[in-house]
Structure 1
């Protein structure tokens, strides 16, 4: 059989993929995993009792703005890596924007705060548990993204796993805001980010094994 004939036979029963199908598939996995994470926050950690009041303040939206924008930036990269033609990534630099903005807010906080209070502001009340809780909440979201990839075709498996882990960690931190009472930008930049990076590292470690097709 000639090569052209073989290609024609293989392509005869294929159907065109709808525009945006990859993004919708990944978004579905993300939301399904986030629902499980939200249940963990509700029944394991507990929703902060002053959530309504907190949502009227700057610190809550500062945390949500950071984690949600980092999630979106990570998803831009994840959607690209879900395709087999992901040799060149566009938009990777977007992940630096929320980090830089939060760092500026943290510096302004330090300027307005007496140096004697810097350590307390940095550590808060939950620095020892915060990264691990974010990582725990990221697991079901990462599992949802793995489900999404079962019908996709990533080729750079370690990079894809890292991007999916980054997105899962950032969205897990967004869900964790429903529980966390910390208000300092420097706390969020340090300990939220550590949990998110742990999720990205876990994704990079598991990607070559779990995303193989």
Structure 2
């Protein structure tokens, strides 16, 4: 049997794959992970008792706008890297837009208060635990995405792991807003982003081992 015959024999009984199969698989894993993170928040942290009041203030939607923007970009990148061809990720510079926008909001907020209050705005009341909580909340979502990757075919494993971690971190931060009472943009920019970055770093480190096929 020559090479062409071997390829023809291997491909003979291969069923066609639905064009949205990758997206559906990743969304399923993401949904399972999100449910796990919500359960973790409910049992461990609890929801902000003033959530209804917080949702009437721009700061809540500022936080959600930031984390959701990062989460959507990361999901798209993860979907591309779940395919064997990998895709180009040069467009990920667009993630700098929400970062830059939040930084601008933070500068405006700081300009409206005396310099003596800047440190309090930056640290809030939970800076020492915020990043680690976001990281821990990302683990169920990252686990759901790893489950999704078990039936996918990534080839750029480190990049795929990093974007999966980034996705998990961004969506975990989005859900963390349901608990977190902090309202300062500079707080969110620093400590939320650090937690998201830690999740992306974890994905980059363990992705090549757990996503290999």
Question: Following the alignment from structure 1 to structure 2, what is the Cα–Cα distance between the partners of residues 88 and 74?
Answer: 13
Q: How do 1:138-157 and structure 2 match up within 5 A?
A: 138-157=138-157
Question: Following the alignment from structure 1 to structure 2, what is the Cα–Cα distance between the partners of residues 115 and 125?
Answer: 18
- Which segments of structure 1 move beyond 2 Å, counting only runs of 4 or more? 87-91
1:87 to partner: Cα distance: 5.2
Please give the TM-score of this superposition, normalised by the length of structure 1: 0.97
Question: Following the alignment from structure 1 to structure 2, what is the Cα–Cα distance between the partners of residues 71 and 9?
Answer: 42
Deviations 1:4-46 (A, max 9, x none): 2211111111122112211111111111001111011111101
Match of 1:52 in 2: 52
Unmatched 5+ stretches in structure 2: none
Q: Are 2:164 and 1:164 aligned? A: yes
Deviations 1:50-109 (A, max 9, x none): 111111110001001110110000111111111111153253122212111111111111
Q: Secondary structure of 2:148's match?
A: helix
Q: Is contact 1:77–1:91 with CA below 8 Å preserved after alignment?
A: no
1:118 to partner: Cα distance: 0.2
Aligned residues between the structures:
213
Q: How do 1:1-213 and structure 2 match up within 5 A?
A: 1-86=1-86, 88-213=88-213
Unmatched 5+ stretches in structure 1: none
